[in-house]
Amino acid sequence: MQVAGMTNQGLERARNEDNYFVSAEADIALLAVADGMGGHRAGNIASALAIAAAEKIWLAIDRSNMPTVENARKLIETLLVEANSKIIDESESASERRGMGTTLTAGLLCSNRLTIGHVGDSRAYMINNGQISMITKDHSLLEQLIDTGQVKPEEADNHPQRHVLTRALGVSPDLAIDVTELEIEPGSALILCTDGLTNMVRDNEILAMYKENRDPETLAQALIELANSRGGFDNITVVIATGIGGPQD
């Protein structure tokens, strides 16, 4: 398994409010991306706090013993709950930080098992057998409108409410977390990214670039360059793991 992460300010934003974490040892890896809430105070601090929680969890994992399914789920849930609590505490400690928040999508890989924890609209994709599939669901007003039939999927790209989140870290102590657990086929790839990428690059384009660039660092750089070539209107962060569970048969 190979892992890499990369972030870029983009071409329009005054600062980078994205953060990421990626680390791997043997057959265990933890990947996370966080997108500080644009238009809110101290979004960069909120995303940094979320990623600090990921680093804390990584250091707590006994990497000499593969976490069980139950432990993996508990670790991911603890990561998001502790990140949310820390952001709320920091928000309440200083007036200039009130209202800060962030998305957080984190994946714990244990050989061929994946546990994803997710709040917000940063995404996780799985690539295997020549196909790409999104394994998270955006927590956005637009997604709700699509689910209820008020907006057609083909209208989503230019919808004025596509950036309105319905869930984020730092908003409330009562945090609803989506947790997804998957068995992964050998040779698969996992891509976590913020919406600075997915607003500019379509899923099928991510797949096509993966087929050309299997090295995770090269692929991350290529995806960021493509998003910037189309305007780079937001911060862009990509974290990638390839060759999961060993080489494909």
What is the reported pLDDT for 145? 57
Question: What does the pLDDT look like over 183-214, one tens digit per residue?
Answer: 999 999 999 999 999 999 999 999 999 999 99
What is the reported pLDDT for 96? 78
Q: Work out how many domains the chain is built from and give that number.
A: 1
Question: Per residue, what are the HEC states of 104-159?
Answer: EEEEEEECCEEEEEEECCCEEEEEECCEEEECCCCCEHHHHHHHCCCCCHHHHHHC
Residue 142, pLDDT > 80, answer: no
The answer as to whether 223 is a domain residue is yes
The answer as to whether 172 is a domain residue is yes
Q: How confident is the model at residue 248 (pLDDT cuts 50, 70, 90)?
A: low
The answer as to whether 94 is a domain residue is yes
Structure-model confidence comparison of residues 33 and 111, the more confident one: 33
Mean pLDDT of 140-169: 65
The answer as to whether 248 is a domain residue is no
CA 240 from chain center: how many Å?
A: 10
Beta-carbon contacts of residue 4 (< 8 Å; ≥ 6 apart): 22, 215, 216, 217, 219, 220, 239, 240
Structure-model confidence comparison of residues 140 and 37, the more confident one: 37
Q: How far apart are the first and last CA of the chain?
A: 15
Mean pLDDT of 82-106: 91
CB 237 within 8 A of CB 35: yes
The one-letter amino acid at 36: G
CB 98 within 8 A of CB 91: yes
94, containing H or E segment: none
Residue 241, pLDDT > 80, answer: yes
Residue 88, pLDDT > 60, answer: yes
Mean pLDDT of 220-235: 97
Residue 120's domain spans which residues?
Answer: 2-243
The answer as to whether 8 is a domain residue is yes
Burial call 91-125: b when 16+ CB within 10 Å, e when fewer: beeeeebebbbbbbbbbbbbbebbbbbbbbbbbbb
For the entire predicted model, the pTM comes to 0.91
**Residue whose C-alpha is closest to residue 97's, from 155, 54, 141, 44:** 44
Mean pLDDT of 39-45: 78
The one-letter amino acid at 23: S
The answer as to whether 142 is a domain residue is yes
Kindly report the CATH number assigned to the domain that includes residue 101.
Answer: 3.60.40.10
Mean pLDDT of 170-193: 95
What is the reported pLDDT for 153? 60
Mean pLDDT (the chain) is 90
How many angstroms separate the CA atoms of 186 and 207, rounded?
A: 17
Q: List strands edge to edge, sheet with 2-8.
A: 2-8, 236-244, 188-193, 123-128, 131-134
The answer as to whether 249 is a domain residue is no
